[in-house]
Chains A and B, each alone.
Chain A
Amino acid sequence: MPGHTYLDHAATTPMRPEAVAAMLPYLSEQFANPSGSHRFAREARKVVDDAREVIANVLGCAPGEVVFTGSGTEADNTAVRGTLARRPGTVAVCPAAEHHAVLECVHLTHGVVVATTTTGAVDLAALVPALDEAGETVGVVSVMTVNNEVGTVNDIAAVAATVRARAPHAVLHTDAVQAASWLDLRAITPHVDLLALSAHKFGGPKGVGVLVVRDGVRFEPLLVGGGQERERRSGTHNVAGIVAMAEALRLTDIERAGQLPRIGALRDALVDGIVAALPDVRETVPRAAKVAGSAHLCIEGIENEALLFLLDEAAVCASAASACAAGAMEPSHVLAAMGVPRSLAGGALRLTLGFTSTEADVARGIDVVVQSVRRLRRAS
């Protein structure tokens, strides 16, 4: 929307024009159901498999290991609950700062939630005894690659080493939904058994995601009936969405090395500008622990609900926490896990940048945040 400053790329990204262009033919004349047996259907099937190859290449896995889903949430749900269903009597283990799509599944199945560090990263010192205590009953361990609220990066290689040593039979899943724009996924995939992606977090369309299932890893499908995706996910393929996702991921991967310093500099300018103009603003997580596009601040003396209202009035899009329906205005479980006091968490502000972000966005963001916070502080 013209005139708006969009600082909420962790909630969703605008679509890349190339991804829109890639999907349009499959939204219009090439609409066949890939599961048919006529020529038109076979062409659609080839398109889906070409997309699978592109995605596998970016992820560093085999094309047969890419399973298309309807969302990142579905991929996460399948990973946790599908694995447990395959392994009756086992439990899931995850850190307390996971996305709700993992956390709720772990709660639902009476799993084990372990502590995080003050940056929101998984605390290996807490994970080890949890795995030791649960022993053979650990069915799946789920650790997100990048936290959606505060941007903290987990060291998946170190997590994997721990899990393989302490729970060698467990399946390791990572929710990499927030990672694709910032990290080379080829360095993540080899360490895990399952990995979830969501297209709309990297310039692709909403309504399509990926669950990477490494060769030999078994789970019970969440959706049955039709047997698509080699019985791993039933439902007619969203051909246009899959094509667009592959194109968005391909471009994200190509451009990543160039975008990281650019977006990192914008993020630094944004945070520095706000912190320099306002007293009593704290960076929630040190930048070295975070991805380049993420800024997260705890602003004393304000309520973020009021702040977001003022930001929205001034046409600046930001958020307090994640963009989920229930969570948007509730206290953040991530900040609670990090030990951030509730009084401070009430002033949490998430500003997230992405491939469309500009210097003008940063300047406007600083200006509006600073003015709005001053206004709220004067009023209180």
Chain B
Amino acid sequence: MDTIYLDNNASTAPDPLVIAAVSEAMASLPGNASSHHAFGFQAADAVERARGSVAGLVGARVRDVVFTSGATEANNLALIGLWEASRIDSPSRVRVLVGATEHPAVLEVADYLATRGALVHRVRVDSLGRLDLNDLKAHLTDDVLVVSVMAANNETGTLAPLPEVSDLAHSVGALVHSDCTQAMGRVSVDMTRDGLDFMSLSAHKMHGPKGVGALVVRRGVVVFPQLRGGGHERGLRSGTINTPGVVGLGVAAELAASRLGEAIAIRAMTDKFIAKLENTVPEVELNGHPDDRLPNTANLRFVGADAEAVMMGMPQVACSTGSACSAAVPTPSPVLLAMGKSQQHAAESLRFSLSRTTTHEELMTAADLVRDSVAYVRSQLGHEVA
């Protein structure tokens, strides 16, 4: 039986148009985009076109786009680079506020900054994963350097009220960074409307290739480079440009911008999937916000059914128990714990994430497989359904 792939928040299938563009670039653009000859100029032209596509997707200026190896690098560059630059420009701003349910690529960077002297606060979220704006306000003093809040949570899909966050942060002169990795192509992000000073994104979460992403930095925001030597990307990010990867990101960005309208249909499918499970499986709980959520994400708790065991009982269904990072040792989701859920609740939660290629038929099949696996696990563990 074919795998039913419901792990699109971990990675998405590259679009056929992306694959074609990357393959074409590997063949026809062999040069180094920094070289001063025809091969180099042609590669550089393709890179600049892709830069325009990414800028268009997020409402930025073309020159604001800095290509990186992915969102992890972009988040590292954004926050460490800003911290280093600000030690000279605004040394009195020593506070860094990050959402409590940020991706490790933000949380661990914040922890690192704490070792360099930053005073880090993790802004609370409520039981639906929504950023607690009162907690944010309470910690927004005029020595806050930056507030980093993800546009959409990778595990629950809960969306952040970015315009409100930005207004609050800007009112004390703090900058706003957003890890928009999961939002790209799923909900609209506009740096001006949302008040973002800089944002991170990754190609492989929006049907582009792995190994490429971007940090988009509004003019006037100074970050120190983290990769040095060569002076690529206006000195902000050294290293030979991954031309085929960047071309793939550009095509993915164009497609994402043109397909935002599909979110409605994907949302309907996700809702149907949830409804079917709620109708066929007792004691199911939705994690995350019921409405302000990514259209493709359903994070569900099956009371009394260990999530790892449920996954093992349905090997055809590719889903996840948390984020897809170095999950060699299964640990309860820190995101759900930050939302006030118990260890047991977290250990009984599974994330299903759809994409535009998910079909109704496979989704309904998956719901049946989940139902059966949950029932089996519950019977094995002796869980009596109330």
Contact = CB atoms under 8 A, between A and B. Distances in A.
A360 B108 CA distance: 54
Contact of B320 (A38, A105, A234, A323): A38
Nearest to A29: B13
Interface stretch (A67-75, A155-163, A294-302): A67-75
Contacts of A206: 240-245
Q: Which applies to chain A's interface (DSSP): helix, strand, loop or mixed?
A: loop
Given A70-B211, A223-B73, A326-B235, A39 B327 contact: no
A202 to B, nearest CB: 13
Contacts of B27: 15, 20
B330 A73 contact: no
A101 B232 CA distance: 11
A14 B244 CA distance: 12
A319 to B, nearest CB: 6
A37 B330 contact: yes
B3 A39 contact: yes
Given A73-B239, A200-B240, A227 B325 contact: yes
B240 A323 contact: yes
Interface in B273-317: 308, 311, 315, 317
A6 B39 contact: yes
Contacts of A29: 13
A105 B229 CA distance: 8
A119 interface: no
A148 to B, nearest CB: 11
A24 interface: yes
A27 B24 CA distance: 13
Contacts of A100: 228-231, 238
Interface in B189-227: 202, 204, 209-212, 226-227
Contact of A325 (B39, B232, B324, B326): B232
Nearest to B181: A236
A312 B231 contact: no
Nearest to B209: A27
A74 B28 CA distance: 26
A318 interface: yes
Interface stretch (A166-174, A238-246, A268-276): A238-246
B163 to A, nearest CB: 26
Nearest to A6: B39
B106 interface: yes
B253 to A, nearest CB: 17
Given A8-B39, A308-B36, A324 B3 contact: no
Most buried by A among B69, B71, B72, B245: B69
B228 A37 contact: no
Contact of A31 (B11, B212, B330): B11
A224 B10 CA distance: 18
A269 B261 CA distance: 60
Most buried by B among A77, A105, A329: A77
Given A38-B319, A317-B31, A236 B11 contact: yes
B324 A36 contact: yes
A133 interface: no
A69 B39 CA distance: 25
A35 to B, nearest CB: 4
B240 A35 contact: no
Interface in A13-43: 13-15, 20, 24, 27-29, 31-33, 35-41
B31 A11 contact: yes
A20 B38 CA distance: 22
Nearest to B234: A325
Given A77-B229, A312-B38, A207 B31 contact: no
Interface in A237-273: 237-241
A328 B33 CA distance: 11
A4 interface: yes
A100 B229 CA distance: 4
A318 B37 contact: yes
B333 interface: no
Contacts of B31: 8, 11-12, 317
Interface residues of B, number: 79
Contacts of A318: 37
A129 interface: no
B105 A224 contact: yes
A228 interface: yes
Contacts of A41: 7, 10, 318, 324
Nearest to B44: A325
B5 interface: yes
B22 interface: yes
Given A71-B239, A207-B242, A224 B34 contact: no
A231 interface: yes
A324 B36 CA distance: 10
A200 B240 CA distance: 9
Nearest to A231: B326
Interface string A88-108: 000000000001111111001
Contact of A71 (B112, B240, B327): B240
Given A73-B238, A225-B107, A238-B69, A35 B211 contact: no
Interface string A52-74: 00000000000000000011111
A323 B40 contact: yes
A98 to B, nearest CB: 9
A28 B210 contact: no
A298 B11 CA distance: 50
B231 A12 contact: no
Contacts of A108: 228
B19 interface: yes
Interface of B: 3, 5, 7, 10-14, 16, 19, 22-23, 26-28, 30-32, 34-40, 42, 68-73, 75-76, 103-109, 111-112, 202, 204, 209-212, 226-233, 235, 238-245, 308, 311, 315, 317-321, 324-327, 330
29 contacts: A8-B32, A12-B31, A12-B32, A12-B35, A20-B23, A20-B26, A35-B326, A39-B3, A72-B239, A73-B227, A74-B227, A100-B238, A205-B245, A223-B72, A224-B76, A224-B108, A224-B109, A225-B72, A227-B325, A234-B108, A235-B69, A235-B72, A236-B202, A238-B211, A312-B36, A319-B35, A320-B36, A326-B231, A329-B36
Given A37-B320, A74-B227, A324-B231, 11 more contacts: A11-B32, A11-B34, A15-B30, A73-B230, A226-B325, A231-B326, A234-B104, A234-B105, A234-B108, A241-B245, A327-B231
Interface of A: 1, 4, 6, 8, 11-15, 20, 24, 27-29, 31-33, 35-41, 70-74, 76-77, 99-105, 108, 198, 200, 205-208, 222-228, 230-231, 234-241, 308, 311-312, 315-320, 322-329
The 9 nearest A-B residue pairs measured at CB: A207-B242, A238-B211, A70-B69, A225-B105, A101-B229, A326-B231, A324-B230, A227-B326, A73-B239
